Amino acid sequence: MDGLSTVPPDQERARVDRGKLGSISDFITPQHKRTAKMLGYTLFLGDASSYGRLSTIARHRLSLAERGGLACAFLGSMPEDCAVQAAATVLGAAGDPLPPFLGGMEDARHWASWATDAERKAYALACYEAMTPRDQAAFFGHISTVEVA
């Protein structure tokens, strides 16, 4: 037990003094216990506002690494298409652009204002690749003259 245990020394002494190994719940932090209880309440209620409150509680009671681990575990438990949709919802993805109704540029700019960086990059590259070589050259000429901040 000398230096090999991950249990804090004071808890290790208490465990040894009792003459038996304590249960794991003896070593779970109070904030983890309260978070687990909040998860149970959220699952029982099952509504959007409860999940929002759980997110707020997790932000205050859990480390970034703990929240990331839970996010990976939960997303990993879902079918890929559902996991992608859940992540896109959280990240505020704009989804596919709508067909232009009033004018292509106005609609495209509106969509781009809501899209994530990944969406904008993916659609920009796909659109560029779909252009004719002449249009690609014209587009390259246009973006080459734009001043980059």
Summarize pLDDT for 41-68 with one digit per residue, the tens: 999 999 989 998 999 999 999 999 999 9
Please report the sign of the dihedral spanned by the C-alpha atoms of residue 42, residue 43, residue 47, residue 51. Answer: positive
State the CB neighbour count (10 A cutoff) for residue 117.
8
Q: Contact at 8 Å (CB) between 100 and 92?
A: no
Residue 19 is given by DSSP the state T
> Rounded CA gap, 67 and 73, in Å?
10
| Average pLDDT, rounded, for the chain | 81
> C-alpha angle with apex 54: 53 to 59, nearest 5 degrees?
100
Cα dist. 19→2, 14, 37, 147 in Å? Answer: 17, 9, 30, 73
In this prediction, residues 2-18 reach a mean pLDDT of: 54
Q: Contact at 8 Å (CB) between 96 and 122?
A: no
Please report the sign of the dihedral spanned by the C-alpha atoms of residue 86, residue 89, residue 95, residue 98. Answer: positive
Q: Residue 58: which of 41, 46, 45, 44 has the closest Cα?
A: 41
Summarize pLDDT for 78-99 with one digit per residue, the tens: 998 888 888 878 877 666 666 6
Summarize pLDDT for 116-126 with one digit per residue, the tens: 888 889 888 99
